[in-house]
Structure 1
Amino acid sequence: MKRGRPFRKRGRWQAVWRRFCRNRLAVAGLVLLLFLIGAAVFAPAIADYERVIHQDSANRLIAPCAAYPFGTDAYGRDLFARVIWGSRYSLSLGIGSVLAAMLAGAVIGSAAGFYGGRTDSMIMRLIDMIMAIPGTLLAITIAAALGTGVGNLMIAMSISQIPTFARVVRSVVWTIASEDYVEAAKTYGSKTARLITRQIWPNALGPLIVQASLSMAQAVLTISSLSFIGLGIPAPSPEWGTILAENKSYMRMYGYLCTIPGFAILLSVIALNLIGDGLRDALDPKLSGPVR
């Protein structure tokens, strides 16, 4: 009798990936995000940076054409090159600030959920005080205090998002810390740091990934908003919000100057939100049945 292949139980993340791939909108969002990231990574090969900053008064305010696919602005700069290079600022700052906030929030939330008692009460009351201020307003306040610049904007965005991640991690750690396998590890003599990183964080990774993907969409919007009001990336750096701010006075006569960078922001936010929704559905415990 011919033996078939031995049955191999699918891992959790493989099952999550298969459920994610069944969501067509989520896959479309992932493809779109990879396209935008690819444009940011390969920006030097797509458009020369000289076209981003070079001012040509003879070719100012040219509508989209073969020579200038997105047209030119009031200074004669190639809008296509500026939008492509602007993706480096918007996406890298959005992703970087969320990763920094996620790491800090994971540490703070883990301490609150694992130790409990007074430690939990003190940390969470501080988090509640910070969360009483809307995230965008908090980012504006910090950016205004620190000044414009890439580094200051990264700090402002990260601090404004830490409370959200801290609460997510705290709730997960609080639940997992009472499980039998964690109690067994404590009895065995595992150190606190090892216990949190090896036993608790892997189980909290799912909610963190979902929250991170949704927070990135908000981060891109906030970064563009801060740049638009002059508290983010200063001109002439080609951040999408900065491009909108520079061209807002030409919106009526030359609508493409604001429509195109605005559409780039829209695409990135839609892609990140679709991915976040897909991950949330794929990681939902109610959907953890067998995947065919």
Structure 2
Amino acid sequence: MYEKKIQDQRLDYLVDAFKKDSVQYKELETPKDTEGKRRILWSLMNIRMPRKMDKAVLSVQDEYLQERVRENGIVELDDIPMIRERMSIWQGDITRLAVDAIVNAANSQMLGCFVPMHTCIDNCIHTFAGVELRAECSRQMNQLRLKYGKDYEQPTAVPMLTDAYNLPAKKVIHVVGPIVRYELTPELEKDLADCYRNTLDMCLEHGLKSVAFCCISTGVFHFPNKRAAEIAVSTVSSWLSQHPSAMERVIFNVFKDEDKTYYEELIR
């Protein structure tokens, strides 16, 4: 009861602070119910451009989000059964996983989803990590633009590593998957395989021993779910055989029952 009261106070403070921080929504009426306040805060975080935020506000945001993560239930690596070859399947919210790294299906701007309360994985990861994540992504992209030019966008299958901030994972690996605009091609299949291979290479480089992959490109990027699962499992299996001591666990994180069925058929 005490923690709930503290959380309610944090929420009220953050809604007020993020409203004041915005330009367009300073006068937005705040709902009286907790769920309504959460929606307002989530939306204001989603649309906020990367810029400095008062340290006192960030401190409260971090406390609030860390408690929200605990409320949602943290899933440890030992809670997830291993099926074979250091591979696992887990269905649920990737923001609950306490692993070395979770993989975010990003877009080429690498700043997260700006659509208020959108349910894509990019939005959820940025929301529960906090606004510091978008700020870090922006700093990295600005450095890359200094090197490659002001119009630089992150290429497909080139991963970017960031801290995870208020998530239970240690790191987030952001990767842009291939977009299937018309029909599936061998080039697109190779691009998807490269997403998995390059991400695992990054884990190896940084000493990350456990990673949870989302179903890269199968949402609004329109990669066929079954073929995506086949490529993911084949690529990861091949990489693990070539690097037998590199990873403790690779988790295929699925949200839809359809994807869970495909991965279960492939990993027995």
Answer yes or no: same fold by TM over 0.5.
no
Query: Greater relative contact order (Cα 8 A, min sep 6): structure 1 or 2?
Result: 1
- Which entry has the higher C-alpha Rg, 1 or 2? 1
Q: TM-score range by the shorter chain?
A: under 0.3
Q: Greater strand share, 1 or 2?
A: 2
**TM-score, L = length of structure 1:** 0.26
Q: Greater helix share, 1 or 2?
A: 1
**TM-score, L = length of structure 2:** 0.28
